[in-house]
Amino acid sequence: MKENYDFMMPSVNFFGPGVIEKIGDRAEMLNMKKVLIVTDNFLKNMVDGPVKQTETSLKNAGVDYVIFDEVEPNPKLRNVKSGVSFYNDNHCDSIISVGGGSAHDCAKGIGIALTNGGDITKLAGIETLSNPLPPLMAVNTTAGTASEITRHAVLTNEDTHLKFVVVSWRNVPLVSFNDPLLMLEVPTKLTAATGMDALCHCVESYVSENSNPITDAQAIQGIKLINENLRRAVANGHDIEARTNMAYASLLAGMAFNNADLGYVHAMAHQLGGQYDAPHGVCCAVLMPTVERWNMISNPERFKDIAVLLGENVDGLSKMEAAERGIKALERISEDVGIPTNIKSIGAKEEDFELMAENALKDGNAFSNPRKGNKEDIIELFRQAYEA
Ligand code: NAD
């Protein structure tokens, strides 16, 4: 754990049922004159969905906008490139992303390319941005990545299949919205995957070597909330209490990892997402038990805490036995919400493990993992997750 640390928070986050109505006023306050809304085609056309509600609020405030609807899951550099042209062709001066992590990251990518130079691949890494992005707000619709409040932009180079991260405080949206009413129609599989991503954010932050007392408090509360609400949200998407608690947990998890950073689960998940275009939350959920079981010896006390937070009885157990209970509980929640158990089922191929292991160790999330591995270790973890 760190003794000295800086702590980054979102500048403004609106949270709760109905907060989307405030976005028009905020756009006006930020002096946005011509907004580029960044989203995908499905969300754009959703009747009374998040984009329509954003449009209504902007219209009520008299703020002009155009809609760029070409965001793909695991957003690609081609999406960023078209978004930049669309922004320039329409003389925009600001951006609002509407969607899950893909929309927010694509919007960040567009902003980065506009003000920091066109070749974003050269900016992969930590604190590489010299200039502020155009004014950016983010409307979140999944619970989730928390990209609406984070300094991370995760993008995929479709030519090399490499998913990379640009991490900078300049990426943090100025204003973000977490309105659980926008999440009621998220399909079951996506609810499960995004909820497991948020759980993974909590777990990786809690065991990260960059954790601090503030991020610990957030991760602990996030794990409790997800344990109590994810199954409910998957069972009934219209359970507003469960949706609200999941949105809250995702936000807490985001604040935690924005400061404590993540670990090998995310570093390896990015390789699966880049190579096979697999859903990010599923990649994280499938890898988490294997990686965290390997991490356990770095700090069994922390894994014992996770077991207790997930409702396990650890009385009379040794530290390592209690820690193992935590991993088993992670496996159980994943199974309960219908996540596959191995990476074979999401298209992974053994011949790719060597390259993916090399790239995972270069990923911006690898450095804070509590146990330090080499390429062979990562290949072995991919193998174990393949056979699981
Ligand atoms: P997503 O944004 O890729 O969305 C997946 C699908 O869900 C899309 O087809 C979208 O149309 C649909 N969808 C979104 N909201 C919906 C709603 N309310 N109702 C119905 N359908 C809806 O999914 P995601 O998991 O939120 O984002 C994943 C991406 O975020 C990955 O690329 C991942 O690497 C990245 N990520 C970023 C950060 C960060 O801090 N920047 C953190 C974690 C993950």
Q: For ligand 1, is residue 275 a contact (CB within 6 Å)? A: no
Question: For 186-197, how does the pLDDT look when each residue is reduced to its tens digit (9 = 90+)?
Answer: 999 999 999 999
Checking if the pLDDT of 9 tops 80, the result is no
CATH number of 188-387: 1.20.1090.10
| pLDDT score recorded for residue 267 | 97
Three-state SS for 99? strand
Checking if the pLDDT of 2 tops 90, the result is no
Check: CB of residue 155 under 8 Å from CB of residue 166. yes
| pLDDT score recorded for residue 104 | 98
- Candidates 3.30.70.580, 3.30.1490.20, 3.40.50.2300, 3.40.50.1970; correct CATH number of 12-182? 3.40.50.1970
| pLDDT score recorded for residue 268 | 98
pLDDT (mean) for 71-80: 98
Q: How confident is the model at residue 122 (pLDDT cuts 50, 70, 90)?
A: very high
Checking if the pLDDT of 76 tops 80, the result is yes
Helix 188-207 to helix 280-295 angle (10° resolution) is: 30
Q: How far apart are CA 145 and CA 84, in angstroms?
A: 23
Distance 48 CA to ligand 1 centre (A): 19
Extended strands (E) in 170-253: 175-178
Checking if the pLDDT of 338 tops 80, the result is yes
Checking if the pLDDT of 219 tops 80, the result is yes
Distance 83 CA to ligand 1 centre (A): 18
What is the value of pTM for the model shown?
0.97
Check: CB of residue 61 under 8 Å from CB of residue 25. yes
Extended strands (E) in the chain: 12-15, 34-38, 64-68, 94-99, 125-126, 136-140, 152-157, 162-167, 175-178
| pLDDT score recorded for residue 6 | 86
Question: For 251-291, how does the pLDDT look when each residue is reduced to its tens digit (9 = 90+)?
Answer: 999 999 999 999 999 999 999 999 999 999 999 999 999 99
Three-state SS for 266? helix
Q: Whose CA is nearest to atom 3 of ligand 1?
A: 73
Average pLDDT, the chain: 97
pLDDT (mean) for 352-358: 97
Checking if the pLDDT of 5 tops 90, the result is no
| pLDDT score recorded for residue 114 | 98
- Residues whose CB is less than 8 angstroms from the CB of residue 135 and which lie 6 or more positions away in sequence, other chains included: 30, 31, 32, 93, 94, 95, 174
Q: How far apart are CA 266 and CA 256, in angstroms?
A: 14
| pLDDT score recorded for residue 365 | 94
Walk across the sheet containing 12-15 and list its strands: 12-15, 175-178, 136-140, 94-99, 34-38, 64-68
Question: For 32-48, how does the pLDDT look when each residue is reduced to its tens digit (9 = 90+)?
Answer: 999 999 999 999 999 99
Every domain of the chain with CATH number 1.20.1090.10 lies at 188-387
Which is it for strands 175-178 and 34-38: parallel, antiparallel or unpaired? unpaired
Q: For ligand 1, is residue 364 a contact (CB within 6 Å)? A: no
Distance 100 CA to ligand 1 centre (A): 3
Measuring CA to CA, which residue among 361, 368, 367 is closest to residue 382? 361
Q: How far apart are CA 300 and CA 199, in angstroms?
A: 18
Q: For ligand 1, is residue 23 a contact (CB within 6 Å)? A: no
Checking if the pLDDT of 316 tops 80, the result is yes
Q: For ligand 1, is residue 271 a contact (CB within 6 Å)? A: no
CB-hemisphere CA count at 13 Å for 337? 32
Sign of CA dihedral 26, 29, 34, 38: negative
Q: How far apart are CA 192 and CA 180, in angstroms?
A: 15
* Residue in this structure with the two tokens 């997800």, named with its chain if needed: 226
Q: Whose CA is nearest to atom 40 of ligand 1?
A: 147
| pLDDT score recorded for residue 3 | 83
Q: Whose CA is nearest to atom 35 of ligand 1?
A: 101
| pLDDT score recorded for residue 8 | 79
Question: For 166-181, how does the pLDDT look when each residue is reduced to its tens digit (9 = 90+)?
Answer: 999 999 999 999 999 9
Amino acid at 257: F
Distance 385 CA to ligand 1 centre (A): 23
Q: How confident is the model at residue 213 (pLDDT cuts 50, 70, 90)?
A: very high
Ligand 1 atom closest to the Cα of residue 254 is 40
Q: For ligand 1, is residue 41 a contact (CB within 6 Å)? A: no
Q: How far apart are CA 129 and CA 158, in angstroms?
A: 22
Question: For 144-159, how does the pLDDT look when each residue is reduced to its tens digit (9 = 90+)?
Answer: 999 999 999 999 999 9
Which is it for strands 94-99 and 175-178: parallel, antiparallel or unpaired? unpaired
- Residues whose CB is less than 8 angstroms from the CB of residue 29 and which lie 6 or more positions away in sequence, other chains included: none
Q: How confident is the model at residue 341 (pLDDT cuts 50, 70, 90)?
A: very high
Q: Whose CA is nearest to atom 21 of ligand 1?
A: 186
Distance 251 CA to ligand 1 centre (A): 14
- Residues whose CB is less than 8 angstroms from the CB of residue 56 and which lie 6 or more positions away in sequence, other chains included: none
Residue 137 is classified by DSSP as E
| pLDDT score recorded for residue 141 | 98
Distance 12 CA to ligand 1 centre (A): 21
Question: For 222-255, how does the pLDDT look when each residue is reduced to its tens digit (9 = 90+)?
Answer: 999 999 999 999 999 999 999 999 999 999 999 9
